[in-house]
Amino acid sequence: MSLLRQRPGFDDFFNAISRSRGNELWEIVKPMMHQKSSRDWEDLFELVQEAHKLALMMYSGAEEYKFETPTIGQRFQRATMIQRDPWTNVNPPEQLEASGATVRLGITPHVTIRSNNAAGHVRSATVLPAQVLIKTGS
């Protein structure tokens, strides 16, 4: 990716693919909008460009990224998940994990990064914990 980014015309290619994918998304999103403004398409285009910039960054380095969406029925793990149920009386993560709560729906993936240093040591870390809806035993 680093070599591709240096080629002449890459910025034009990047903008063309972002515009194309923005148009595809616009066809899906536009009918669902309740209120429209004059900058809606431009805002979506900027969002698509940022997503493509993130992909460029991810594939330009030596790091490895992993995306794992929790499956329905998987046990809740506070180290890798954030509960996003809208109820205000939901138990804290420690109690949810101890009570055996399970995933009702995985909303976003758990994103991790892994890198190797010159000495061969592997470093792994969470970039973004998964957001989930949960199901408790009660």
Q: What pTM was estimated for this model as a whole?
A: 0.64
Of residues 118 and 76, the one with the higher pLDDT is: 76
Confidence of residue 133 (pLDDT cuts 50, 70, 90): very high
Q: Strand pairing partners for 67? A: 111
Confidence of residue 108 (pLDDT cuts 50, 70, 90): very high
132 contacts 105 by C-beta, under 8 angstroms: yes
Structural domain including 107 reads: 63-138
Pair (16, 84) in one structural domain: no
138/118 Cα distance (integer angstroms): 50
Confidence of residue 126 (pLDDT cuts 50, 70, 90): very high
Pair (67, 56) in one structural domain: no
Pair (56, 75) in one structural domain: no
* Residue 81 burial (10 A CB sphere; 0-12, 13-18, 19+): buried
Pair (94, 110) in one structural domain: yes
- Our count of domains for the chain comes to 2
State the pLDDT at residue 125.
92
End-of-domain residue from the set 61, 78, 104: 61
Rounded to an integer, the average pLDDT of 132-138 is 82
End-of-domain residue from the set 61, 83, 102: 61
Pair (69, 5) in one structural domain: no
Helix (H, G, I), strand (E, B) or coil at 72: coil
